[in-house]
Amino acid sequence: MFKYQFRWDTVWGSFDFLMGGLEMTLIISAITLVLAMIGGLIIALLDMSRFRVLRWIGVSIGEIVRNTPILVQLLWVYYVLPIVFGIRIEALVALIIGLALYQAAFISEVYRSGIQGVPKGHREAAQVLGLTPIQSFRRIVLPQAIRMTLPPLASNFVQLIKFSSLGAVISVSEITRRGMELSATNFRPLETFTFIAVVYFFICWPLAMGIRFWERRLQAR
């Protein structure tokens, strides 16, 4: 038998400290999502650009980001960018930049499939009725594309909540980092990290379920 004297009180004693970290986690995730949505749009526009150079840049960013580990990217932003540009970047800023860049590469694909998911016939109907390409994009393509991209964007938020735990490595004081600090002082990693895992789960799981339900409803329309 696994004999262990659980000491949950060590966790309850630092509840506020950990919840402060959770707040940090959620704020980081939200800010990063907004930045990643903008970044994703820029990459998507580069990808679809008429100019070869811009397309090449967009595709390169996407491929590099999607094919290197996110942790390495974070370390790179935190340690390399300051050397290259001769500036100090705060860990929090580095985390947000790194995560945003990473998610932007995926979100650009979400946008792209959203736009390409609008049947060609819808645009042709607009064209025959005399709408200009810009009018057709704004009134016919975009509203439908946005509707299709909302659930994947929400999924990205869930991913960000989990990925932001990587901030612990560069000592951003989000919930995982605080857990590491706490367990270093209370010598109770089992209780501490179990509690933290449970917190992540009960935030991410309902969100993921909600998104799945939402997606199914959108498909039924």
Position 3 contacts other proteins (CB under 8 A): no
- The only residue of 9, 63, 90, 124 in contact with other proteins, by rule CB under 8 A: 124
Amino acid at 37: M
| Contact yes or no for 68/81 (Cβ under 8 A) | no
Residue carrying the six token digits 């379920």: 209
Position 131 contacts other proteins (CB under 8 A): yes
Q: Round the CA-based radius of gyration of the chain to a whole number and report it.
A: 22
Q: Which two tokens stand for residue 140?
A: 């016919």
CB of 151 to other proteins, least distance (A): 16
Cα angle value 178/195/209 (rounded, 5°) = 110
Position 143 contacts other proteins (CB under 8 A): yes
Measured distance CA(221)–CA(210) in Å, rounded: 17
Position 218 contacts other proteins (CB under 8 A): no
Cα angle value 60/61/65 (rounded, 5°) = 115
Measured distance CA(26)–CA(175) in Å, rounded: 9
Smaller CB distance to other proteins: residue 99 or 126?
A: 126
Q: Which of these segments, 34-42, 59-67, 108-116, 118-126, binds other proteins (CB under 8 A)?
A: 118-126
Smaller CB distance to other proteins: residue 119 or 210?
A: 119
Smaller CB distance to other proteins: residue 68 or 135?
A: 135
Q: Give the up-direction half-sphere exposure of residue 109: CA atoms within 13 A in the CB hemisphere.
A: 12
- The only residue of 10, 57, 81, 127 in contact with other proteins, by rule CB under 8 A: 127
Smaller CB distance to other proteins: residue 135 or 185?
A: 135
Interface mask toward other proteins for 76-115; x: CB under 8 A: ----------------------------------------
Smaller CB distance to other proteins: residue 123 or 162?
A: 123
Measured distance CA(144)–CA(13) in Å, rounded: 49
Smaller CB distance to other proteins: residue 89 or 131?
A: 131
51: DSSP letter: S
> Which residues would be at the binding site for other proteins (CB under 8 A)?
119, 121-122, 124-131, 135, 139-140, 143-144, 147, 221
